[in-house]
Structures are given as structure tokens and as C-alpha cells.
């Protein structure tokens, strides 16, 4: 069984807290950010993702092109996607927002499957 921990995302400030999910000492969101920063060409889009997170944290509404509910029917815990250009960040709403992972537009279907699998394991670990 995995060990889950939550850490604040320091760059996001507002009434709604954003946390990143750490699984067995590894944070997929941090790794996603490191990869984007080392590649360099999508760095501005990553800054845009953080700006969108800050808007949500400050309880500002964003258009669906930037922040949308992707929760399947009959699910209790809300799922969201934050978008900027080719980048996506997937999160759940539970005690603020918990960022589970980031991905690119080209791998969106696989990323959503992985996101939902991690979400399920995380929620089961809390029972």
C-alpha cells in the first residue's frame, strides 16, 4: 500500500489552499514541473498554469478553456483540469484543491486514466 502525504504549493496563494500529493516520497507534480522547466519551450505555459491556480485560489471564476470540471457522473469527489496551451494539471477538490499530476495535451487520455487511478488509491487510503 502506498504512503500518501500532502504538501502546500508555495507559489499558490489565496483563500483556497492548493496542495500537491506525494506518493511514497515522490511527487509527480514536482517532477512534471522540473521536466517542463528543463525542456524550456513550455516554461511560459507552466507560469500560466500557476497563474490559473492563483486565480482559483482567490475564488475568481475562470472560463472552461482554463479550468473545468471533469468529474464523471455519480462520483462524490470533484475532479478538475487546469489548462494552459499544451499543459494540463489534474486535481481533486477535498479540503481545498489537491494537485495529483500534470501532463501534456498529447497524452491527455493516458494522464486522466492515471489521475483517476491515483485518486482512487488516495481516497481508499483515507478510509
Domain count, the chain: 1
The runs of H, that is alpha helices, within 1-127 are: 28-39, 43-57, 108-125
Q: Domain range for residue 21?
A: 4-125
> To which residue does cell 462524490 refer?
76
pLDDT of residue 96: 86
This prediction has a pTM of 0.93
Mean pLDDT for each consecutive 10-residue tract of the chain (127 residues)? 93 95 97 93 95 96 96 94 96 92 95 96 91
Per the listing, cell 479550468 goes with 67
Q: Tell me the per-residue pLDDT of 12-25, one tens digit each, with 9 for 90 and over.
A: 999 999 999 999 99
Amino acid at each position: 500500500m502506498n504512503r500518501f502525504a500532502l504538501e502546500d504549493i508555495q507559489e499558490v496563494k489565496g483563500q483556497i489552499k492548493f496542495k500537491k500529493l506525494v506518493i511514497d516520497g515522490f511527487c509527480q507534480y514536482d517532477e512534471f514541473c522540473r521536466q517542463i522547466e528543463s525542456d524550456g519551450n513550455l516554461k511560459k505555459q507552466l507560469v500560466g498554469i500557476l497563474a490559473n491556480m492563483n486565480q482559483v485560489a482567490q475564488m475568481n471564476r475562470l472560463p472552461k478553456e482554463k479550468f473545468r470540471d471533469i468529474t464523471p457522473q455519480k462520483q462524490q469527489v470533484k475532479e478538475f483540469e487546469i489548462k494552459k496551451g499544451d499543459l494540463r494539471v489534474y486535481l481533486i477538490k477535498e479540503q481545498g484543491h489537491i494537485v495529483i499530476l500534470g501532463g501534456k495535451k498529447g497524452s491527455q487520455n493516458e494522464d486522466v486514466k492515471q489521475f483517476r487511478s491515483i485518486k482512487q488509491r488516495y481516497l481508499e487510503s483515507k478510509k
